[in-house]
Amino acid sequence: MPDGSYATYPNPQALQTSEIPEVIDQYRQAALNAIQAGFDGIEIHGAHGYLIDQFLKDGINDRTDEYGGSIENRCRFLMQLVREVIVAIGADRVGVRMSPAIDHLDATDSDPLGLGLAVIQGLNKLQIDQGAKLTYLHVTQPRYTAYGQTESGRPGTEDEEAQLLRTWRRSYQGTFICSGGFTRELGIQALAEDGADLVAYGRLFISNPDLVLRFKLNAPLNKYVRKTFYTHDPIVGYTDYPFLSKANKGQATLSRL
């Protein structure tokens, strides 16, 4: 909750093996629904401690069936799910997100590098089998945020983090997106060093509706207010972040000359 307290929730329980095909089908149907509603594509969220990530990470996955134990088994749920979604809506409408090195919601793994490579190898094979490439692979990398503090994940050195990204980037046969606390400068650096094809921004977009223009002009950014991220106010933290004024646009343009 915004005040730091926790809402009540039922005790979680592991999926029975027999229930997994139904869950995979729910993802397939959700993808179809999104396309029918007019979306260009969907991103399969296999990151940040959510359901797919709980299958992938050995710090959470304690299953003893074909979905637990080895890395291959822990990747099975994701691969089956991605295959079904590709068949339903086409690979060119599907992106996949993973965060092997992020421990958000206590989703830890003893070998983040190896887990990331296993997922990538599985996706590469799936693309070959299906004869089509996914739209992208999106990897969240732990690093200091744009405002200097670490909010999630074990902070590594910049060299360690860059090496992880470079290794995964070299291994994936397709468009590679990175994200995770990137500033304008860090994003430019990642692209210049061939650490990614694209850089994704989330929190900075919340507080800067004209983020692309601000980056283009190298203009100052609005700071986001984290406590408003998950509230339901129709204005505060949602539509009240200001756009650049004409005066600020001119000043930012002059500063680039």
Q: Which residues are catalytic?
A: 50
Contact 198, 136 (CB under 8 A): yes
**Strands of the sheet with 198-199, listed across from one edge:** 42-46, 94-98, 136-140, 176-179, 198-199
Indicate the angle between helix axes 71-89 and 20-36, nearest 10 degrees.
30
In degrees, rounded to 5, the angle at the alpha carbon of residue 78 between the alpha carbons of residues 74 and 83 is 135
What phi, psi does 190 have (nearest 5°)? Answer: -60, -40
